[in-house]
């Protein structure tokens, strides 16, 4: 299975820029997608196809990368961005998710 590795946690101040990384154990082309999950809620799609912003998602969110290295950027971070962010690949079977990066605000 394709393993997606994310840093467990990050802490930033409101107004700052944050990058969340996701590294794949093998190439996933640009079939990388990002989700936001707040406590007690279901995941919400933010970015699909590595860099495409889902409709209704603020332009503060952006994604980049291809192959094995991907980033989700939030700029500027706002207080309600406190959440866990997951990457997911859909290039290799089975589709897999990263372990999540918990974003906390200082």
Partner 1 sequence: EVQLVESGGGLVQPGRSLKLSCAASGFTFSNYGMAWVRQTPTKGLEWVASISTGGGNTYYRDSVKGRFTISRDNAKNTQYLQMDSLRSEDTATYYCARHNTLNYFDYWGQGVMVTVSS
Residue 100 touching partner 1 (CB under 8 A) = yes
Paired strand residues for 35: 45, 86
Residues 88/74, Cβ–Cβ less than 8 Å: no
Residue 97 touching partner 1 (CB under 8 A) = yes
Residue 96 touching partner 1 (CB under 8 A) = yes
Residue 54 touching partner 1 (CB under 8 A) = yes
**Cα angle: 81, vertex 87, 88; to 5 degrees:** 140
Residue 43 touching partner 1 (CB under 8 A) = yes
Of 12, 27, 44, 105, which one interacts with partner 1 (CB under 8 A)? 44
SS3 content of the chain, % helix, strand, coil (to 5): 5, 50, 50
Q: Where on the chain is the footprint of partner 1 (CB under 8 A)? A: 31, 33, 35, 41-45, 48-49, 54, 86, 88, 90, 93-100
């Amino acid at each position: 299975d394709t393993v997606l590795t994310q840093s467990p946690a990050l802490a930033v101040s409101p107004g700052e820029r944050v990058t969340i990384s996701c590294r794949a154990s093998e190439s996933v082309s640009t079939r990388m997608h990002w989700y936001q999950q707040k406590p007690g809620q279901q995941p919400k799609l933010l970015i699909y196809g590595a860099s495409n912003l889902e409709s209704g998602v603020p332009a503060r969110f952006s994604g980049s990368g291809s192959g094995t290295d991907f980033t989700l950027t939030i700029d500027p971070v706002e207080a309600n961005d406190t959440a866990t962010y997951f990457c997911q690949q859909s290039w290799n079977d089975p589709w897999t998710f990263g372990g999540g990066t918990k974003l906390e605000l200082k």
